[in-house]
Structure 1
Amino acid sequence: MSTLKIAVQKSGRLNEDSIKLLKNCGIRIENGKDQLKASAANFPLDVLYLRNGDIPQYVEDGVADIAIVGENLLVETGNDVEVVRKLGFSKCKLSLAVPKDTNYPGPEFFEGKKIATSYPNTVKQYMEKVGVKTEVHVIKGSVEIAPNIGLAEGICDLVSSGSTLFKNGLVEKDIILQSEAVLVKNKNLTAEQEELLETILFRLDAVQKGEKSKYVLMNAPNDKVDEIIKVLPGMKSPTVVPLAEEGWSSVHTVMEESKFWEVIDQLKGAGAEGLLIVPIEKMVL
């Protein structure tokens, strides 16, 4: 039987979320400390723990069949791999930042100046796009320190909360790339490997739909049930269950959390009472 090899970050912000995602998909991985390879106990999957920057090349070369990486890394490396699914976690921005008291009119500020970054290819592509000629200084460590020591007039780095920029007296200016974790694959998987990947994607869909949705229960007078059902944006027809108290029913449905907040006032106005919102672990349609 064929086995699928997935590469994940050995350590860092993507590691825990990647392993958690596999666990939520029902894949049990039992690995020891500092182990570089582990096999799933209940699915034909081997997990390779690799240095983040090496992962796209390993997937392109076929050493790993699939991988979880950040979009920003794919843009930077330019490796020939296929993005299968956006995963919705590890969201961040690749942004230009300058010292807080700098008069910054736009990217043209960097004309003839230096930018410190760990993403030279992405920065060069962006600057070419906006028609600005700049000098890119590559740093593989704490990029934020560069303006303070006179190494560059500004930086381009990943930004999540912005706290690191603030601590170093920098201000975020232009976002050049929005990024999140993605699932990628080698373009030459066998038919068996593609089938295994489809199984993972099926499970992943169930997990992601569950995360975005909520199970909603509410009580309603029987003469208000039809009006309430018209308001509900949930899946198919809701379930209506008679309550012990005569003249009342319980209405059950599933809806996206964002839509619930859009209609809650309408539901209450239509006569719904005692609304209860319950998390959904997984949802299979």
Structure 2
Amino acid sequence: MNTAANAAVRDRLRIAIQKSGRLSEPARALLSSSGLSWRESRDRLFCYGESLPVDLLLVRDDDIPGLIADGVCDLGVVGRNVLLEHAGERAGVGASVPFREWRSLGFGGCKLSIAVPEGWDWRGAAQLAGKRIATTYPNQLRAWLHEQQIAADVVVLNGSVEIAPRLGQADAICDLVSSGATLAANQLKPVQVILHSEAVLVGPTQPFDDVRAELADLLLRRMDGVLRIRDSKLLLFQAARDALPHVLQLLPDAEPPTMCAVDGTETLALQTLCHGAMTWQRLEDLKRAGAHGLMVVPVERMLA
């Protein structure tokens, strides 16, 4: 994109997300819950922001860090594994890293793990010395091997990493693991996690110096509100004043409650925001501790 085109979009924020894949729908849902709406282009690669001057670019996840580095996009939603791999690639050639993680987003969780054949008697990372390890994440693997002071050969593959040991290309692999079913299907077992990954919001290392700064702050406030209440419920109940300590002990994940006295009694009416699951068992435990009139209310939006 030329300089004139870049200058023309500086009054709007542009966010890159995965066009398709496991992060695509959750990313769009999060942004929609933050009050964003769009009009899609015919090719469904660009979404023009209607509720706010915030546009979406739908791309491959591997392209997102580079688009931010080049100034084509301002923010992006991508896996931490992808972000760190691109950061390691730039650092490896002595280039500065112009992007960083702004927020963890709580979805798309997985682990970048070392996996070995099921027949291995795994006793520790030292067993990898002198072995061939196949991966699509060579920068993170090399960094981990360096930290562990292990000399091993990194075999870089673009796909089908799981079958590398069966084909004789490698002795072990380093790949993303979610359920572990793919590893099991290829007679492999995960033995060492080198990175806990999830979807993250990526932005530039340097702050914006134009109207995008205000837009980014607004978006972050809304996203923080959405993330904070994702699994939260508003709990309303009553309890005798002397039972309150026992009840509150069962709410370690709750905000400090708002309470008021019920006229002419020693009963308190309370409400609190709980960030954990509010199961039937938990409600029954609260009732036994002295709470009554328990009501669980879903929270749609919250702005701190």
Asked if Structure 1 and Structure 2 have the same fold, meaning a TM-score greater than 0.5 normalized by the shorter chain, the answer is yes
Matches within 5 A, 1:238-257: 238-240=258-260, 251-257=270-276
Deviation at 1:259, TM superposition (A): 9.3
Q: Verify the 8 A CA contact 1:211 1:282 in the aligned structure 2.
A: no
Q: Verify the 8 A CA contact 1:96 1:173 in the aligned structure 2.
A: yes
1:46 corresponds to: 55
1:23 corresponds to: 32
Structure 1 residue 228 and structure 2 residue 228: aligned?
no
Deviation at 1:111, TM superposition (A): 1.4
Matches within 5 A, 1:177-256: 177-186=195-204, 187=206, 189-220=208-239, 224-225=240-241, 227-228=243-244, 231-232=247-248, 234-240=254-260, 251-256=270-275
Structure 1 residue 110 and structure 2 residue 128: aligned?
yes
1:176 corresponds to: 194
Q: Which runs of 5+ in 2 are unaligned?
A: 1-9, 88-96
1:276 corresponds to: 295
Note the alpha carbon deviations across 1:159-216, whole angstroms, 9 max, x for none.
1111111111110000001111111112252331111000001101111121142111
Matches within 5 A, 1:48-87: 48-78=57-87, 79-87=97-105
TM-score, normalised relative to structure 2: 0.83
Structure 1 residues 33, 157: CA separation in 2 closer, same or farther (over 3 Å shift)?
Answer: farther
Q: Verify the 8 A CA contact 1:117 1:156 in the aligned structure 2.
A: yes
Q: Verify the 8 A CA contact 1:94 1:159 in the aligned structure 2.
A: yes
- From 122, 136, 140, the equivalent of 2:140 is 122
User: 2: distance between equivalents of 1:241 and 1:257?
Assistant: 26
User: 1: distance between equivalents of 2:101 and 2:267?
Assistant: 50
AA paired with 2:302? M
Q: Which runs of 5+ in 1 are unaligned?
A: none
1:101 corresponds to: 119
* Structure 1 residue ranges (4+ consecutive) displaced by more than 3 angstroms after TM superposition: 229-237, 239-243, 246-251, 258-267
Deviation at 1:269, TM superposition (A): 3.9
User: 2: distance between equivalents of 1:33 and 1:103?
Assistant: 55
User: 2: distance between equivalents of 1:142 and 1:74?
Assistant: 21
AA paired with 1:100? E
Note the alpha carbon deviations across 1:254-275, whole angstroms, 9 max, x for none.
2222699998677334421353
AA paired with 1:156? C
User: 2: distance between equivalents of 1:248 and 1:131?
Assistant: 63
Q: Verify the 8 A CA contact 1:231 1:263 in the aligned structure 2.
A: no
3-state SS of paired residue (1:149): coil
Structure 1 residues 236, 103: CA separation in 2 closer, same or farther (over 3 Å shift)?
Answer: closer
User: 2: distance between equivalents of 1:134 and 1:33?
Assistant: 49
User: 2: distance between equivalents of 1:280 and 1:164?
Assistant: 37
Note the alpha carbon deviations across 1:98-153, whole angstroms, 9 max, x for none.
11111222222221111111101111111111111111111111211111111111
Note the alpha carbon deviations across 1:68-107, whole angstroms, 9 max, x for none.
1111111111143022111111111100001111122222
1:142 corresponds to: 160
User: 2: distance between equivalents of 1:151 and 1:131?
Assistant: 23
3-state SS of paired residue (2:107): coil
TM-score, normalised relative to structure 1: 0.88
AA paired with 1:103? D
Deviation at 1:33, TM superposition (A): 6.6
User: 2: distance between equivalents of 1:227 and 1:260?
Assistant: 21
Using the aligned pairs only, state the percent identity. 39
Structure 1 residue 12 and structure 2 residue 39: aligned?
no
3-state SS of paired residue (1:206): helix
How many pairs were matched up?
280
User: 2: distance between equivalents of 1:206 and 1:162?
Assistant: 33
3-state SS of paired residue (1:155): strand
72-81 or 92-101, which deviates more? 72-81
3-state SS of paired residue (2:65): helix
Structure 1 residues 113, 235: CA separation in 2 closer, same or farther (over 3 Å shift)?
Answer: closer
Structure 1 residues 210, 226: CA separation in 2 closer, same or farther (over 3 Å shift)?
Answer: farther
User: 2: distance between equivalents of 1:270 and 1:48?
Assistant: 52
